[in-house]
Structure 1
Amino acid sequence: MKLTVLYRGPLSSCNYGCEYCPFGKWKHTEEELAKDRADLERFVSWVEARTGDTMSVFFTPWGEALIWPWYQQALARLTRLAHVERVAVQTNLSCHLDWVKDCRAEKLGIWATYHPEWTKRHRFLAKCETLSSLGVRYSAGMVGFTRFAEEAEALRRELPEDAYLWINAVKDGQEEPYTAEDIARFTAVDPLFPVNNVRHPSLGRACKGGESVISVDGEGTARRCHFIDEAIGNIYAPDFDQALRPRPCSKATCGCHIGYVHMDYLELDRVFGSGILERVPVKPLWREGVAARAE
């Protein structure tokens, strides 16, 4: 079996405090952090035991995980497993990167979000340069508030040409809708921006969610994706594999990259290839205007 797991444990705090994000305002108690660590240990042990499968793991925390050593250690352990193809994580890249040397770099993927209100561009770029020097594949990106447009353009100029810079469209919370000029400006930075700036029709559509891609929480409860609350089983149950089967999407639309990228009709697996978890497209495609195909 080939299975991709999006893991989101109880961790829900961040060392940044972006005004549009609630998680920087929360602080965990020592007991809560211990619970998160124990849940993660149980999950990693489960992955380690599935030696008959081909596994990929994507950590998508409600907050920042890599400031905590147990997540760094988990990435190192998982990348060293023969049956694990890929291990990726969403991060603000504020952590030190010494732990990366304990990983198999060719299996590690970093989805790095730049927050210009919380760090300096040169610091973020230095972290990206370190990842490159260590042989780690990464994407960099920003939230697409129009007030960040100049900073996004500057980051694009200073990143290596072959590094993909994505822009997450703001579909809720933007003071005013994007103008045609705004869309053109962000598309010049990220040719795939028009794909993200759409809520894709999904009701009844085929999706890998629930069959070969699942979302798992700290208790082991599995769902087809992060955006459908219905549980399909628990990964720690002995008969869990029986829950994995095709399920047409039950939501009207899908507007988040980590959801719609797995929808069959969009064919975005062709765009991202083996970089689908860390959001790194196949190099020639994103420079050739693939965005227009999926509008």
Structure 2
Amino acid sequence: MKVSVIALVCNVRDYLPQCVESILTQSFQNFELLLVDDNSTDDSEQLCDQYAQTDPRERVLHLTEHRGVSVARNTGVKNARGDLISFIDSDDFVSEEYLAQMVATLTAYQADVVFTEYNELDQQAGIFYFNVVSAAKGEVYELTAQEAAAMPDERLPFRHGCYVHPWGKLAKRELYLQHPFIPDLYFEDGPNSLRIFLATHKVVGLLRDDYTYRIKCPHAITQGTKILKGNMDLLQAFRFRALDMLAAGVDPTSFRAELLHNLQTDAGKLEVANQTDCEEYRELQWLLKLMTQAQVPGQ
């Protein structure tokens, strides 16, 4: 089966070479690399074109205006030529065995989706976090759609981010065609990952750390008026997930601790920004009050 690796590109000129090089040196060779340029303004778009001219496995799609990650991912999926989709953020990178391990696991277990662990690189602090114990590396966990949708599961040695992020996964292209990312929504990854899981018959977790996630520095979404949209989108994303879980008969309490953490964190950001006299802050406080009354575990 052919894999379409989709990398979204938006002003990542300093990191793009490492990402692209890590993909082009994969031991698994039956893939294409689709670079989706979301109207970059830092010469990333020119760098994409240069790559495409030097390697026939690469193609570039330029969006004529900045549309955001959901539209960019959906555009990549629609134009992909592979049977399988793997998203890799253009400021991250992978080991040379990343695709080979993912494809072999998905094939051996006849799964629709395989997700994996990841390492973290905090370049600003000069710290690299290894998140898989060597003795357990390579272990595989088979999950039904319902089990995957009910994550996180404390019995499994995976962090919650493995289930939510679109990167660190390999899935059948038809799943993303049937369940596209929601446009114009921050935190769009949670609702999409949940729908992808619910549409499968089997999900496999592979305990490897061939993907390295680069910890991003704080940016504009945490400042000024954008924080307000971010808060409301966070709540909207949780509501999408909760409604899908209820409709599918999956107990949504599995992510209540995550919701509590996000509510407290975002309320704190608004307090620091002195933006408490607004609808967003009142909504956060109302939900925190309800969760306090319900004595949510982990509070």
What TM bracket, shorter-length normalisation? under 0.3
Which structure's relative contact order is higher, taking Cα pairs within 8 Å and 6+ residues apart?
2
- Of Structure 1 and Structure 2, which has the larger fraction of its residues in helix? 2
Instruction: State the structure with more CA Rg.
Output: 2
Q: TM-score of the superposition, structure 2-length normalised? A: 0.27
